A and B are shown apart, each in its own frame.
Chain A
Amino acid sequence: MLKISQLIIERDGKRLRYDFQLEEGSILAIQGLSGVGKTTLLSAIAGFVEPIEGLISWQGDSLNSLPVEQRPVSYLFQDHNLFEHLSVMENISLGFGGVAPRANLVEAADVLHVADQLEKQPGELSGGQRQRVALIRAMLRPEPLVLLDEPFAELDPKTRELSTQWVRYTAKLLGKTVLMVTHQSEDVDRVADECLVLEC
């Protein structure tokens, strides 16, 4: 279980407060107005932002004191998810510790219609293709906790439907606990088990 207890983070002079918990294997959609602190919450769980108070725990163990590299987290940033000077295949093979599961990566790329893009450089891809490529890596990495920051923002309706289905299917298949920031209600309906609406 992921527990966020009495968490307080200071951002631009504003205090943001969070308190909730999420069962292992569940998918939580996070919604709210811009600036309310959705990305900040994901950054704090991943270890990029230090809270001034409160506890972030996973399976009963506190994550607060762990550096980014030691947290059980796979994070899809809003942008800048790919190294521009590496090929797409090299990019999605990173973050697996040892040998990347090439067959699984190619299969996922096939499902998401980016299999023919794997040998290209990220600069040759469209915004939607980049997002799907980054999504594949984020979901397949061997981390139990997956944080997705607006993962479907750049996708057209058809690809969006395909990608949302794939994310839910993969999360359930691999037993991932997912926190997903989104502005779209349809994403909540298609992917999430629960929804958390943050307010100022």
Chain B
Amino acid sequence: MRVAGWISLFMIVLITVLAFQGLIGFSESGPDWTLLNDSYFHNILAFSLKQALLSAFLSVVLAWPIARVLYYLPHVPALNSFLSLCLLCFVMPTLVLITGLVVLAGQVEWRLYGLNGILLAHIYLNMPFAIRVFYQQLKGIPDSSWKLSAQLKLNHWQRLRIIEWPSLKSSALMLLGFIFVLCFNSFAIVLALGGGPQSTTLEVAIYQALKYDFNIPEALMLAWVQLLIAGGLFLMVSRLGSANWLSVDTASDEWRPQVKGWRYWLMKSSYYLAWLVLLLPILALFFGLIQGDLSRISLASLIRPTLITMSLGLFSAVIGMALAYAMLNPIRQMNSLGQTRRRVFFEWLATHALVAPAMVVSVGLFIFLLQRIDIDRWGIVFVALLNTSIVVPFAVQKLKPRLYQFDAQYGDLSRSLKLQGWALLKIEWPFIQPVFLSTFALILVLSMGDVAIFSIFGSKEWTTLPWLIYEYAGTYRMAEASFASMLLLALCALILWLFEKAQTPHA
């Protein structure tokens, strides 16, 4: 099993290495470092940092009060549905969101393009994720802390300072870093809602350098800068090291402070407002649909792209889970042996696809393969493979805490009972099953939303549903774009719902 882990790690790293090899090999002059003194580069870097920083900060700050509402008012109507909606928002294909936001902006005459639109879309995608993480952390506060605080008659401020903040502090820092990296590397949203050097990020600048100018030295230089900043930050975030990431065992929560009076009403109003905000872009799709020419919508034209999207997603999710589980094996051993530095390094390697610019990896690999295979024929295989490498970090991040927890609780016992291989897996499976299934659903939905990789390797013959939405929206066929978006969103929601239902309570 450990050998499979090393092979998986090697394969994931190999994809990135080959991609960079493709770019470096093609351009003999290497990165164009003279750009460092260019005001064009300064503008792009400043905007990339500004939008990522603002997106991360606002997402976290807005998520916190909503998470508190969910925690303090556990009996508000449809709380579980709200949490499901949060998950759906986080994994929502970006083109679906963009279509919804464009229709919505058209209705209320907002100026969506530029920093405002980018921030809005980033907050919409990431705030719900932060809500879920904060909510899980708050649920981890043990009863005994609340009982003690009630007994000691601590006031609201003291509770916040002594109980809530310490439970959220590490998550808040990790969330800031994680969302910053996601937004720093954002592609589709900035491409669709940005424009001009004043609102372009490094990722989009790399795409433009490659697509319009085929200026590989410039693209390489931008890619290195992006990798250094995002990678460095992600390494720092990894070192913060809280294990409670996307999943956490909930402690017993029978006793928690009651909220009364104006605080109760303020919290309840915030909850309904959050519902409304998260639903608006989805509801806007209906407006897009009814305001367009419905007769142009052809169901038949959607069937093949839908099947292709699902097949690609399933492939990436199955292989992605297998790779993530396998590569966590040697990393778990390092964790058990207390080899912190090695563990952090290999964790970073396993999740590096999160920070390696997807556009650079796609184009680099494209150039590398161009002279070696018939890409027109095999392109779709590389869409599947690259999508898999993109979702592996999410699978690793979600599975890791649960597997570490298993090792901490039962590692010694399993070893003393000499459980190995299949026997160990049989014991481990019920423990990790709920997290495993929810992770599978998450990465399945994430990979179904890809546009960036398809834009490089895809072909008309293998058009996916997100690409079809992009084509419709690009030609202002908003009714068709809205309909296809609703179909994709419904599929994503169905998958999340089915897998949530299939989960058994934590072992």
Q: Which residues of A contact B (CB under 8 A)?
A: 46-48, 67-69, 73-75, 77, 79-81, 83, 85-86, 94-95, 97, 141
- How distant is the Cα of A75 from the Cα of B150 in the complex, in angstroms? 10
Which of B116-124, B141-149, B351-359, B367-375 is the interface stretch?
B141-149
A77-B144, A80-B142, A86-B162 known; A94-B255 Cβ under 8 A: no
Q: Does B301 belong to the interface (CB within 8 Å)?
A: no
Given A48-B255, A67-B258, A85-B166, the answer on whether A77 and B150 have CB atoms closer than 8 Å is no
Chain B residues whose CB sits within 8 angstroms of the CB of A68 once the complex forms: 147, 150-151
Name the B residues within 8 Å of A74 (CB-CB): 151
Q: Which residues of B contact A97 (CB under 8 A)?
A: 153
B225: interface (CB < 8 Å): no
Chain A residue numbers with a CB within 8 Å of B147 are 48, 68, 77, 80
- Find out whether the CB atom of A69 lies under 8 angstroms from the CB atom of B150: yes
Which 7 residue pairs of A and B lie closest in terms of their CB atoms, listed nearest first?
A95-B152, A80-B144, A68-B150, A94-B152, A75-B151, A85-B166, A69-B153
How many residues in B have their beta carbons less than 8 Å from beta carbons of A? Answer: 16
CB-contact partner of A80 in B148, B158, B163, under 8 A: B148
Query: Do the beta carbons of A83 and B148 come within 8 Å of each other?
Result: yes
7 cross-chain CB contacts under 8 A: A48-B147, A75-B151, A80-B145, A80-B147, A95-B151, A95-B153, A95-B154
C-alpha gap A141/B150 in the complex (Å): 14
Q: How far is the CA of A141 from the CA of B153 in the complex (A)?
A: 11
Q: A79-B144, A83-B145, A86-B162 are in contact. List 20 more A-B contacts (CB 8 A).
A: A48-B150, A48-B255, A68-B147, A68-B150, A69-B150, A69-B153, A73-B151, A75-B151, A77-B147, A77-B148, A80-B144, A80-B147, A80-B148, A83-B162, A83-B163, A85-B166, A94-B152, A95-B151, A95-B152, A141-B152
Contacts of B152 in A (CB 8 A): 94-95, 141
A86 to B163, CA, bound (A): 10
Please indicate the chain B residues that have their CB under 8 angstroms from the CB of A48 in the complex: 147, 150, 255
Assembly CA distance A83 to B148 (angstroms):
9
- How many Å from the CB of B327 to the closest CB on chain A? 33
Specify the chain A residue showing the minimal Cβ separation from B260: A67
How many angstroms between the C-alpha atoms of A85 and B147 in the bound complex? 17
Cβ of A94: which chain B residues have Cβ within 8 Å of it?
152, 154, 158, 162
Cβ 8 A contact of B148, one of A67, A73, A81, A85:
A81
Smallest CB gap from B150: residue in A? A68
Which of B150, B151, B166, B258 gathers most chain A CB within 10 Å? Answer: B151
Q: How far is the CB of B287 from chain A (nearest CB, A)?
A: 48
Residues of A within 8 A of B154 (CB): 94-95
A residues near B163, Cβ cutoff 8 Å: 83
Complex CA–CA separation, A86 to B166 (angstroms): 10
- Chain A nearest Cβ from B457, distance in angstroms: 50
A68 to B145, CA, bound (A): 14
For B153, what are the chain A residues with a Cβ–Cβ distance below 8 Å?
A: 69, 95, 97
A76 CB to closest chain B CB (Å) equals 9
Tell me the smallest distance from the CB of B256 to a CB of chain A, in Å: 12
Nearest neighbor of B153 in chain A, beta-carbon distance: A69
Q: Which residues of B contact A83 (CB under 8 A)?
A: 145, 148, 162-163
Chain A residue with minimal CB distance to B254? A48
Q: Across the interface, which residues of A come within 8 angstroms of B162, CB to CB?
A: 83, 86, 94
Of A46, A68, A86, A141, which is in contact with the most chain B CB atoms at under 10 Å from its CB?
A68
Question: B244-285 interface mask toward A, CB cutoff 8 Å, 1 = contact, 0 = none?
Answer: 000000000001001000000000000000000000000000
Nearest-Cβ distance from residue B168 to partner chain A, whole angstroms: 12
- CA A182 to CA B385, docked complex, whole Å: 66
Contacts of B142 in A (CB 8 A): 80
The chain B residue with its CB closest to the CB of A46 is B151
Min Cβ gap B115→A in Å is 38
Give the distance in Å from the alpha carbon of A69 to the alpha carbon of B150 in the complex. 5
A46 to chain B: which residues have CB within 8 Å? 151
Separation of A21 and B83 alpha carbons in the complex (Å): 50
Distance of A74 Cα from B255 Cα, bound (Å): 18
Q: How far, in angstroms, from A69 to B255 measured CA to CA in the complex? A: 14
Residues in A neighbouring B150, C-beta threshold 8 A: 47-48, 67-69
Nearest B residue to A141, CB-CB: B152
Q: Which of B102-153 contact A (CB under 8 A)?
A: 142, 144-145, 147-148, 150-153
Say how far B376's CB is from chain A's closest CB, in angstroms.
Answer: 60
> Digit string of B397-431 for contact with A (CB within 8 Å is 1, else 0)?
00000000000000000000000000000000000
The interface residues of chain B lying within 8 Å CB-to-CB of A47 are: 150
Bound complex: CA A77 to CA B147 (Å): 9
Q: How far is the CA of A86 from the CA of B161 in the complex (A)?
A: 11
C-alpha gap A150/B96 in the complex (Å): 60
